[in-house]
Amino acid sequence: MPEPRLKLIDSSPNRAALGPTPRHLAIVMDGNHRWARERRLPGASGHRAGAKNLKTVAEACADRGVEFLTLFAFSTENWRRPKREVRLLLDLMRGVLKDDVDELNSKQVRLRFVGELSRFPGDLQHLMAQAERATSSNSRLHLTIAVNFGGRWDIGQAARALARAVRDGEVDPEEITEEAFGRFLSLASIPSPDLCIRTGGERRLSNFLLWDFAYTEFYFCDDYWPDFDEQRLDQAFADFASRQRRYGRRIEERAGAS
C-alpha cells in the first residue's frame, strides 16, 4: 500500500517570541531505527516515519525564517548497513523524488543534492538531477540533502579539485587561503551553518560538515528524528538565540564591532 501523501504545514508562529533564528540550519536526522525498535516495529517503519517528518520540519523552518536547510540523509558509512536496509533507504529517496517534488516546488523550495552521487543507481541520479532542475528558480527555502556524503570525502574532493586548478595554471599556489580552498567544497555557494541539530541522543558529528562547522553552534536532542516536531525545533531555536557567537573574540570586541 503506498504511503499517504503529507501536506506541508501552514503554521505561522510568533517570530518575535522565538527570537533570532539561524539563517542556515543543519540537521543530523538520527534515531529512526531505535524509534521503531522501541515500538516493536520493523526498522523500515522508522525510516518511513523519518521521511514523513522531513517535510514537516522543512516547512516549519521556512515559516520561521530559515533560508538554508541542510539535512544529513545518507552518509558514506551507511553503505555498511545491511543490504536490505540500504535498499529501503534508496527506495524511500525514490518515493520522495517521484511524489513530493511538485509540492516542494509549489512551496518555493529549492532542492539540491550534495555528495558522491555517482555511486547511486542511474535512475536515482536522474531523479535527483530532475528535481534540482525543476526547483532551481525557487528561493523561499534552499533545501540541501547530503547523500553518500562525508566531511572527510568533501575535504578530499576539494583538495583534488584545487590541485587540478593549480596544475592547469588557474590558481597560484602562493595565493591559496582558507577562503580559496573553501570555494571547492560542496556548500561553497551558501553560508556556513549557524546551528546544527542532532537528534537521537548522540553527541558527535559523525563525519558531517567538518570544514563548514568551524563556528557552528550545536544542539543535541534526545528525541528520535520521527518525534522531532515544531515544539522541539522552537526549543532548539530558543537555545540558539540565547547564545553569544564570538567567533574567537571577546564579548566586548564583538559589541564594539557592531
> What is the edge-to-edge ordering of all strands in the sheet holding 109-114?
109-114, 141-149, 68-75, 24-28, 195-198, 217-220
For residues 145 and 27, give the distance between their C-alpha atoms in angstroms, rounded to a whole number. Answer: 10
The three grid cell numbers given for residue 1, joined into one nine-digit string: 500500500
For residues 79 and 57, give the distance between their C-alpha atoms in angstroms, rounded to a whole number. Answer: 26
For residues 88 and 95, give the distance between their C-alpha atoms in angstroms, rounded to a whole number. Answer: 10
Closest CA to 149 of 62, 71, 42, 248: 71
For residues 139 and 117, give the distance between their C-alpha atoms in angstroms, rounded to a whole number. Answer: 24
Is residue 148 annotated as part of the catalytic site, yes or no?
A: no
Catalytic residue among 10, 14, 30, 227: 30
Is residue 30 annotated as part of the catalytic site, yes or no?
A: yes
Question: Per residue, what are the HEC states of 77-119?
Answer: HHHHCCHHHHHHHHHHHHHHHHHCHHHHHHCCEEEEEECCHHH
Catalytic residue among 10, 14, 63, 78: 78
Q: Report helix, strand or coil for 43.
A: helix
DSSP state, 9? P
- Which residues are known to be catalytic? 30, 78
